[in-house]
């Protein structure tokens, strides 16, 4: 165990975690780098240049004649994937904190750092991209010292591009990060921190052994679900999976036991032996709390069961996705899914399409509200259509978040206006260092769900960084806004919005839908309503044939008679015609501005 080191790489988005991970793998001769970002193997990750999944890999390294086994986990940086980071941290004893020499400390840097400190990890600060012309290593060093109170000599300057500083990082990992502690002779206790679905081998679970050891062929059971299996194969994670006969305390690896049902593997569960089980599960693993809810429906209703299977397989690979069945008048049967944010929602939709060939419609995202009725009962509502009648409601409480925004002082005015327009309250502001300001706001989660992050980036020219966590529920004046097409409500477009914004939001939605819904043979009335009160209306005019073309000359009553006949036909058509709402209309509501 003295020669094992488990560590992860944490940083803000785009500070160069995956590049440094690749350099470490190259330096230890684990893999040959043939193209950029070897660990980000998903097509989506390569296209967008972001890490979506944590990746675990083992390296062997020799120092002073001693051989060490280093288990590295590369983590995502985006706030929507912070759950991946928390799981990776649970399987480590140390963390490399990467800070971009051109950008300095950002919001996600601080948030991920606190997560690591809460888990008592040893922190190794690294300044990356020092080869860039715009690098400011001295200023960034001051920021890091202020943030974690380390010595200047503890900070390693490196470059993922040129490979400078990589040997120093490996030496620091061996010298500063403690080896795992545990009892190899105790009953087996292994923490599952990730899992993937393989169509040939079933579900593969990744684990870290806290106590005891596991051999191939052992009878094991999963503590929380109580299910028992044979360990068909155990091994370590390199670029591919390498089978081993036995794995002992402190090691990170995988187990294949022919599990077919996705519900049987829970991330955060404990693996133990059937014959000599451990007394209690490994504690301290946090449950995921979805922030944004949206309905996901198959375009073809016959695909409902396939969609369920696809979501279950996706959930194995992405434990922060939650879903439950629901039905809608307009869209039939589907699922109400919980996501950690809008980027997460977009990635899940994209992965359903690419990995499982599922065509889905996603409804307008919203958050969960607490609805108190006049009898004193309380109900959690994720969907506007689940609201009780307005006469029954005593009050509605909505979730508020504590938002931390770090920005250049030049952009404070625009950012403050944006947050105040979103019903935010300024809690405090601190000058971090030089020209950098840290702003703390309390903002309703429902206001930031749709387009807040994009606006923040455009106001601050990409400089501001944003991080948030749920704080509490507070009473709000909310109204349910319905969209009616020819008097029929489209429940997939209904939203809960604040009373003050309802009229303008309703008007903008009607105007947007007028552009997006194709013209039919009959007039379509688009109305926005709160309860029985119509607050906005637009009409899509029907497509008409020129029925009077054949009347040249003669009395005007001939023309009128033909027009009246056409009008009756249109009216009849309107009664039986139904309006198809294109997927573009659901997406447009997200980008209303």
User: What tokens appear for 51 in the block?
Assistant: 């890490």
Question: So what's the pLDDT on residue 284?
Answer: 55
pLDDT higher than 60, residue 41: no
Distances (CA, A) of 258 to 127, 204, 216, 219, 233: 43, 8, 13, 13, 9
pLDDT higher than 70, residue 266: yes
pLDDT band at 276 (very low <50, low <70, confident <90, very high): confident
pLDDT digits (tens, 9 = 90+) for 203-259: 888 888 888 888 888 888 887 777 788 888 888 887 778 888 888 888 888 888 877
Mean pLDDT of 314-338: 79
> Phi/psi of residue 217, each to 5°?
90, -5
Q: Which residues pair with 237 in a beta bridge?
A: 241
The candidate with the shortest Cα–Cα distance to 311, out of 330, 331, 335, 293, is 335
**Of 417 and 83, which is predicted with more confidence?**
417
Question: So what's the pLDDT on residue 156?
Answer: 86
- 426-430, long-range: CB within 8 Å, 24+ apart, which pairs? 427/402
Query: In 159-262, where do the E strands start and end?
Result: 189-198, 202-211, 214-215, 219-222, 228-230, 233-237, 241-244, 246-247, 252-259
Among 25-34, 84-93, 97-106, which stretch is predicted with the lowest mean pLDDT? 25-34
Among 25-39, 96-110, 238-252, 320-334, which stretch is predicted with the lowest mean pLDDT? 25-39
Mean pLDDT of 93-111: 81
Question: So what's the pLDDT on residue 371?
Answer: 87
Question: So what's the pLDDT on residue 17?
Answer: 76
pLDDT higher than 60, residue 179: yes
pLDDT digits (tens, 9 = 90+) for 485-498: 888 787 777 777 78
Mean pLDDT of 316-336: 78
Question: So what's the pLDDT on residue 577?
Answer: 65
User: What tokens appear for 229 in the block?
Assistant: 């299996």
pLDDT digits (tens, 9 = 90+) for 490-542: 777 777 778 888 888 888 888 888 888 888 777 888 889 887 888 888 888 87
CA distance 27 to 42: 23
pLDDT higher than 60, residue 35: no
The candidate with the shortest Cα–Cα distance to 432, out of 114, 100, 193, 107, is 107
**Percent of the chain's residues with pLDDT above 70:** 87
**Of 424 and 588, which is predicted with more confidence?**
424
pLDDT higher than 80, residue 544: no
pLDDT digits (tens, 9 = 90+) for 396-442: 888 888 888 888 788 888 888 988 888 888 888 888 766 778 888 89
CA distance 89 to 91: 5
The rounded mean pLDDT for the chain is 79
450: which residues sit within 8 A by CB, 6+ positions away? 342, 365, 590, 592
Question: So what's the pLDDT on residue 365?
Answer: 76
pLDDT digits (tens, 9 = 90+) for 441-481: 898 888 877 777 778 878 877 677 777 777 888 888 888 88
**Of 281 and 141, which is predicted with more confidence?**
141
């Amino acid at each position: 165990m003295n020669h094992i080191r488990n560590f992860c790489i944490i940083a803000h988005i785009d500070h160069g975690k995956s590049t440094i991970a690749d350099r470490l793998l190259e330096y230890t001769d684990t893999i040959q780098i043939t193209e950029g970002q070897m660990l980000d193997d998903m097509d989506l990750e390569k296209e967008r240049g972001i890490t979506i999944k944590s990746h675990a890999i083992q390296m062997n390294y020799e120092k002073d004649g001693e051989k060490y086994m280093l288990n590295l986990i590369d983590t995502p940086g985006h706030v929507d994937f912070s759950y991946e980071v928390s799981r990776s941290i649970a399987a480590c004893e140390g963390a490399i904190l990467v800070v971009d020499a051109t950008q300095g400390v950002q919001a996600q840097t601080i948030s991920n750092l606190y997560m690591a400190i809460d888990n008592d990890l040893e922190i190794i600060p690294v300044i990356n991209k020092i080869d860039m012309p715009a690098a400011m290593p001295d200023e960034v060093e001051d920021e890091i010292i202020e943030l974690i109170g380390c010595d200047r000599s503890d900070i390693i300057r490196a470059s993922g591009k040129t490979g400078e500083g990589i040997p120093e990082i490996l030496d620091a990992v061996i010298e500063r990060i403690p080896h795992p502690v545990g009892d190899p002779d105790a009953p087996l206790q292994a923490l599952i921190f990730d899992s993937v679905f393989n169509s040939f081998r079933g579900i593969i679970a990744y684990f870290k052994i806290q106590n005891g050891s596991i051999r191939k062929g052992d009878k094991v059971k999963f503590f929380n679900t109580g299910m028992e299996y044979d360990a068909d194969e155990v091994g370590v994670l390199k670029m591919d999976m390498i089978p081993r006969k036995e794995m002992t305390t402190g090691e990170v690896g995988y187990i294949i036991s022919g599990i077919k049902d996705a519900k049987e593997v829970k991330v955060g569960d404990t693996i133990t032996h059937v014959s000599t089980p451990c007394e209690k599960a490994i504690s301290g693993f946090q449950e995921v709390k979805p922030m944004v809810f949206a309905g996901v429906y198959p375009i073809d209703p016959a695909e409902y069961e396939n969609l369920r299977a696809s979501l279950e397989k996706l959930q194995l690979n992405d434990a922060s996705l939650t879903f439950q069945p629901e039905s809608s008048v307009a869209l039939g049967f589907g699922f109400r899914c919980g996501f950690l944010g809008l980027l997460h929602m977009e990635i899940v939709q994209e992965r359903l399409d690419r990995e499982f060939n599922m065509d889905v419609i996603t409804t307008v995202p919203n958050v969960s509200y607490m609805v108190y009725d006049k009898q004193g009962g309380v109900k959690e509502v994720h969907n506007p259509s689940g609201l009780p009648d307005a006469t029954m409601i005593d009050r509605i409480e909505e979730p508020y978040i504590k938002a931390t925004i770090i920005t250049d002082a030049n952009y404070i005015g625009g950012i403050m206006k944006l947050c105040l327009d979103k019903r935010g309250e300024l809690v405090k502001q601190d000058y971090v260092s030089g020209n950098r300001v840290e702003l703390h706001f309390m903002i309703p989660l429902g206001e930031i769900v749709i387009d807040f992050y994009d606006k923040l980036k455009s106001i601050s020219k990409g400089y501001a960084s944003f991080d948030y966590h749920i704080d509490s529920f507070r009473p709000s004046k909310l109204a349910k806004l319905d969209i009616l097409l020819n008097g029929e409500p489209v429940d997939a477009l209904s939203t809960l919005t604040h009373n003050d914004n309802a009229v303008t939001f309703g008007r903008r939605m009607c105007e947007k839908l007028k552009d997006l819904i194709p013209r039919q043979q009959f007039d379509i009335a688009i109305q926005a309503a709160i309860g029985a009160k119509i607050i906005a209306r637009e009409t899509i005019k029907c497509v008409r044939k020129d029925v009077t073309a054949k009347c040249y000359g003669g009395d005007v009553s001939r023309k009128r008679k033909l027009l009246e006949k056409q009008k009756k036909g249109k009216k009849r058509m309107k009664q039986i015609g139904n309006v198809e709402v294109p997927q573009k209309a659901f997406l447009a509501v997200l980008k209303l501005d």
